[in-house]
Amino acid sequence: MRSPLALTLTGSPVVTGIENIRTYWRKAYGHIESADLMILSWSWDEAIARLTVWWQLGDTRASEFMDFDDAGRVLRSEAFYGK
């Protein structure tokens, strides 16, 4: 997983491995009790098995893409943040 927030929280822009990704998500968002996450748009590219989601939480906007394998597991993801 690649994210500019990962660089801030872990010292590296890339987080790999299930436990490291779980730790990242808890560190990044574990303090949020209730999120009013608004999905702005999404798209699915069947040819490359990629889901792209554009979302907003408060004044934070982001887009993320996830590439899936044949079993439905995420192989790679990357997030892009803006205002």
- pLDDT category at 5 given cuts 50, 70, 90 is confident
| Cβ 60 vs Cβ 81: under 8 Å | yes
Q: Where are the alpha helices (DSSP H) in 1-83?
A: 4-10, 18-29
Q: What is the mean pLDDT of the chain?
A: 90
Read off the pLDDT of each residue in 59-78 and give the average, rounded to a whole number. Answer: 94
Measured from the Cβ of residue 20, the count of other Cβ atoms closer than 10 Å reads 15
Strand partners, 60: 57
Q: How far is CA 37 from CA 4, 79, 82, in A?
A: 19, 15, 15
At residue 10, the 3 state secondary structure works out as helix
pLDDT of amino acid 34 = 74
Domains of the chain, by residue range, sit at: 1-34, 36-83
The whole model's pTM is what?
A: 0.72
At residue 20, the 3 state secondary structure works out as helix
The answer, yes or no, to whether residue 50 has pLDDT greater than 90, is yes
